[in-house]
Amino acid sequence: MRLAKHLAAAGVASRRACEAIVRDGRVSVGGQLVTDPARDVGPGDAVQVDGRPITARGERVVYALNKPAGVVSTARDPQGRPTVVSMVPQTERLYPVGRLDIDTNGLILLTNQGELAHRLTHPRFEVEKTYRAVVGGPSVRDAELRALREGVELEDGRTAPARVQRISADTIEITIHEGRKRQVKRMCEAVGHPVKRLERVAFGPLQLGDLPRGRWRRLTDTEVDELMSWVASRRE
């Protein structure tokens, strides 16, 4: 395996960032300084970054899944309901990245990279998520869109400003970066429009696109690199 790929697989950084780390003279193999990211390394090679030993964690895996309603966003369920983890190939332990309510459809990620999952879900990184909501009540009015954009009062406090657009008389798209329980549903209820159907269509830089419901796709190495670079750019 090439040195930069070995470092990326160990979770040091994205592959592109690892190439720069090697070129900067921060990596040694078998006690010798190496500046060529394409240098081949094997399982028995002692690799260090800034004097710290690096151990490969195995292949980086990230799946994008279009979760159907009725599936729970956990690895296991004591009630025996289908889980998101059971819907993708399980070659190793996977973490669902955040959660969707059991009756909510849409994009959810699963990965074997714990740090990636943490950075995508911890509130301090303010990763945006976009939902498409079909709501009840009369047509959604401009005043209600403004209220959602400015933040609405809920029982656990006022929500942060959101990006909201009207798709049709009864459908809106809303982008939030908070992760409160049932937040989108409660926000819509607060302005008089109970949610009838909810789908997550984007998570950070990733889009649901035309992925069919109940189907998954594995992100390519390039997409994983880009996602890890994007996550690394988020504020600490």
The 8 Å CB, 24+ separation contacts for 52-57 are: 54/6, 54/7, 54/10, 54/12, 55/10, 56/1, 56/6, 56/9, 56/10, 57/9, 57/10, 57/11, 57/112, 57/113
Nearest Cα to Cα of residue 75 among 114, 106, 122, 128: 114
- Distance, in Å, from the CA atom of 85 to the CA atom of 80, rounded to the nearest integer, reads 13
Angle at 74 between CA 84 and CA 190, to 5 degrees: 95
Query: Do β-strands 27-29 and 32-34 pair in parallel, antiparallel, or remain unpaired?
Result: antiparallel
Note if 101 is an active site residue.
Answer: yes
Record the tokens describing residue 102, joined without a space.
Answer: 């059991």
Q: Which residues are CB-neighbours of 140 under 8 A, at least 6 positions away?
A: 166, 169, 170, 172, 193
One-letter amino acid at 210 equals D
Question: Active-site residue among 36, 77, 101, 221?
Answer: 101
Enzyme catalytic residues? 101
